[in-house]
Chains A and B, each alone.
Chain A
Amino acid sequence: MTPTPLDRLARATPPSMARRVRGLSDRTIAWLFVAPTIALLLAINIFPLIWTVRLSFTNFAANKPNAEVKWVGLRNYERILTDDGIWATMQTTAHFLFWTLFFQVLIGFTLAWLINRKFKGNDLLTTLIVLPMMLSPAVVGNFWTFLYQPQIGLVNYMVELLTGTPASSFSMLGPGGLAPWSIVIVDTWMWTPFVMLICLAGLRSIPDYIYEAAEIDRASKWRQFWTITIPMVLPFLMLAVLFRGIENFKMFDMVTLLTGGGPGNETLLTSIDLKREAFEKWRTGYSSAYAIILFVTVFGLASIYVKALNKVKER
């Protein structure tokens, strides 16, 4: 090995100093490598979180920074947990979560199962199918309002073409109760490929010999599907549901641009409600408490779910 300039430099430096440079203990080096990341997260994640907790016990309003700030104890929490409006947004969010997960799992798994037939060109189609999920939810959500235009939108036109229902007789985002389903459709369009990709990885991880053994035992295809395919894919599917569940609980951008929570409060998800409280009504203390409640909810549900996931994996 030819000596590098650094080697030459090392030879030229006095031995005590060289030892100091070279002799950094592994522990010190490890901390040097990890510390900047931890410092950044402490500054921009943990410190703000602690600040939010503090604010949640006050009546602070960010648009009146000079007003007197009072400690109100647990009153913010008490008001949120007894507010019917907030329980209604929680229900709207639960509806959104349930149906998006339902359709995405159903269509995503079916697609993966079909693609796993390994027909010619399946790689190309897979690449095309995943395109929507990588795009900006805000920009795409905004464009969907164009597709959903009452009377002239492409969606209304398609419905008229396929079912004969006149395009001017319904409005996807307006009053009439369709809006909660319209946001489910866009989310499903966007994120089904995510579930599909993970299911596909699951299906491809099942070794052929298991099916061969089942075939020798004369198990029917139907039985093979329910006793081999489903249980082997389940951990993957559950992982996909975890990721989508967390993301959709936080859903803000796409729905804000599609409906902004309306008509009325029909699509008012918790994140959009929180944004109104924090940045339109400027009830900073109150919305801090709201934020903490949401975070604890996601964190709690995710922890319980991960425990269940690990149990399924062990089986």
Chain B
Amino acid sequence: MSGVSSSWSVTEPSKLSKWLAATLVLAYTLITLLPLLWIISTGFKSGPDSISYPPKVVFEPSLEGYVNLFTTRTRLGAEAFAALPPPETWYDRIVRQSGMVIAGPSRFGERFLNSVIIGFGSTALSIFLGTLAAYGFSRFKVPLKDDLLFFILSTRMMPPIAVAIPIYLMYRQLGLSDTHLGMILLYTAVNISLAVWLLKGFIDEIPREYEEAALIDGYTRFQAFRKVVLPQAATGIASTAIFCLIFAWNEYAFAVLLTSGKAQTAPPFIPTIIGVGGQDWPAVAAGATIFLLPVMIFTILLRKHLLRGITFGAVRK
């Protein structure tokens, strides 16, 4: 732009209005982050501190919540408790303070691992199938292309419970209920519409000339796809993958209806963490923190492509 207009422009907001806007947006940011900060801080509170009134902002940090998240504990009689040898580890010591002993590991580790396996498995499959289909739709004349693309999108309009009824029956007959494979296939089927739409947008932006040059040089279609298109689409593929991963990571409805033990992911598990007299809030908060932090980090990494991802590629910046 010209140097003259940058010194003063009718469209440049005044200093005062900038200050006012900044203050209001900052205030909103602080309010909206409060619940998240509360989750993180509750994870480091002791049981009584977490439910004290008025709510405690300053408290003595404790790892009780994290220890409770990963263990199951039992209460011993006074005599048996007194007869125990002194605690060996720091987590033993924390549990002893509340008059209990560790009975074994909890199921959180397993559930978290299930989330990782199903999340990454379905993401890999969605990206593999989605990239192929997106390339096909982007570069070739596919009969009924627009109808197929719309059909792929419309699968997202189904309420999850409506899909879950027949899937439940189908999986029961095929032996896929409560298995990793069943959940990976299901999440792939849900994610594929996002993957195809986003990746088609990214591949559309790669000039065809590159591939044509490669074809003239004697590459086959597959070689051109692998060696020319894929490297060019790498950023798009990576950000699509993160969106698929976040969906599978966060999904609750199918997980709670179709899995019970073996293949259950963390979201249906975390709300069931209970202690004495209701939910063990520090442990729930600790689990939530461990579960939510990766997504927060990914969101920050993804900020440039966020808009595109959440609108199926309909809005591009």
Contact = CB atoms under 8 A, between A and B. Distances in A.
Interface of A: 1, 4, 6-7, 21-22, 24, 26-27, 29-34, 36-38, 40-41, 43-45, 47-49, 51-52, 55, 62, 107, 111, 114-115, 117-123, 125-140, 142-144, 146-147, 149, 151-152, 154, 157, 167, 189, 192-194, 197-198, 201, 204, 208, 211-212, 215, 236, 239, 243, 246, 249-250, 252-253, 256-257, 270-271, 274-275, 278-279, 284, 287-288, 291-292, 294-295, 298-299, 302
Contacts of A143: 35, 38-39, 284-285, 288
B19 interface: yes
A139 to B, nearest CB: 5
A250 B158 CA distance: 8
Nearest to B158: A295
Main secondary structure of the interface of A (DSSP, over half): helix
B235 interface: no
A22 B221 CA distance: 8
B157 A34 contact: no
B189 interface: yes
B307 A197 contact: yes
A291 B152 contact: no
Contact of A302 (B157, B169, B271, B311): B157
Interface in B147-181: 148, 151-152, 154-170
Interface string B171-214: 00000000000000110110010001000000000000000000
A80 to B, nearest CB: 13
Interface stretch (B61-69, B70-78, B85-93, B127-135): B127-135
A146 B267 CA distance: 16
B250 A138 contact: yes
A257 B250 CA distance: 14
B136 interface: yes
Given A130-B299, A152-B55, A211-B10, A189 B32 contact: yes
A31 to B, nearest CB: 8
A40 B266 CA distance: 26
Given A252-B160, A288-B165, A197 B284 contact: no
B104 interface: no
Nearest to B195: A37
A252 B267 contact: no
B311 A55 contact: no
A87 B162 CA distance: 18
Contact of A6 (B188, B223, B298, B314): B223
B155 A45 contact: yes
A201 B33 contact: no
24 contacts: A30-B142, A37-B196, A40-B188, A43-B189, A44-B185, A48-B163, A49-B163, A55-B165, A62-B168, A114-B25, A117-B22, A130-B306, A137-B252, A138-B252, A139-B267, A146-B279, A152-B55, A157-B54, A198-B307, A198-B311, A243-B310, A250-B160, A271-B160, A302-B157
Contacts of B139: 30
B276 interface: no
